[in-house]
Amino acid sequence: MDMRKISEEKLALERQRLEGMREFENKYSDLGAVAGIDEAGRGPLAGPVVAAAVILPKDIFLPFLNDSKKVTEKRRDVLFDQIKQEAIAYGIGIASNALIDEINILQATYEAMREAISKLNKTPDILLVDAVHIPGISIKQVGIVKGDAKSVNIAAASILAKVTRDRLMLEYDKIYPEYGFASNKGYGTAKHIEALKACGACDIHRRSFIGNFVCE
C-alpha cells in the first residue's frame, strides 16, 4: 500500500483505530507471543472451511486491517501479502467438504484451526479466538465475540483465511464453471441453487448441506 497516497490525517485516524484493536493484545502481552485465530467458509454449500493463525509484531502498523468482511477484495489481497510478509508466524489449515460431511462443520472448523496452529513456526503463549473455544489445544485461549473486529491478530487471521478460501474457489470455478463459484464462493445464492437443482452436486459440494436442493 503506497503510504504517499494516504493523507497524514487519515493515517493518524487509522493508527488510532488500530490501537483500539490492540486491547486484548495489550492485555495479554505479558504472557508472551499472542496469536489470533479465525476461519472462513462455515456457511457455504460447497468447498472447504479454512482457518488461519497469525502472530503479528507488537508494533506493526497495517493501515485498513479489519474484519475481512469489512474490507474490499482488492484491499484484502494487499493485506494478505503484507500479513504474510510481516507476521512473526502464520499458519493456514483446510478442512475439506468431505471432512465436513463426515464430522460436521463445527468439528471440521476446529480441525482446520488446530492445523493452522500446528503450522506456526513459533508456539504462541496465548490464543485469541473469534468467539469459540478450540478443543484439544493446551495453549491458553480467550474467546472474543466478534473478535475479527476487536483484535488485530484475529483480523489478520480472518484476512488470510478469507483470501485463501476465495482463491481456492476461483480454482474450483475453472473445474465446475456451471455453479458460479467465482462469484458466489460456494454460498447458496439463487443462481447457485438453480444450478444445483439442474446439474446435481459436484465433488466439492457438502452433501450434509444440500439435502433441501438435491435428491441423490
How is residue 6 written as a grid cell? 494516504
Residue 59 marked ligand-binding: no
Burial 110-124 (b: 16+ CB within 10 A, else e): bbbbbbbbeebeeeb
- The beta strand positions in 7-95, using DSSP E, are 34-40, 49-55, 89-95
How high is the pLDDT of residue 17? 93
Give CA–CA dist 52/76, Å, rounded.
14
Q: At residue 15, what is the residue type?
A: R
Give CA–CA dist 10/76, Å, rounded.
19
Give CA–CA dist 54/181, Å, rounded.
27
Its pTM stands at 0.94
Question: Domain ranges in the chain?
Answer: 8-175
Class of residue 192 by CB neighbours under 10 A (exposed 0-12, middle 13-18, buried 19+): buried
Total Cβ atoms within 10 A of residue 201 = 19
pLDDT of the chain, 216 residues: tens digit per residue: 455 556 788 889 999 999 999 999 999 999 999 999 999 999 999 999 999 999 999 989 999 999 999 999 999 999 999 999 999 999 999 999 999 999 999 999 999 999 999 999 999 999 999 889 999 999 999 999 999 899 999 999 999 999 999 999 999 999 999 999 999 999 999 999 999 999 999 999 999 999 888 755
How high is the pLDDT of residue 3? 52
What CATH code is assigned to 8-175?
Answer: 3.30.420.10
Residue written as grid cell 444445483: 196
Q: At residue 127, what is the residue type?
A: L
Give CA–CA dist 83/38, Å, rounded.
14
Residue 86 marked ligand-binding: no
How high is the pLDDT of residue 1? 47
Residue 77 marked ligand-binding: no
Measured in degrees and rounded to the nearest 5, phi and psi for residue 42 equal -75, -30
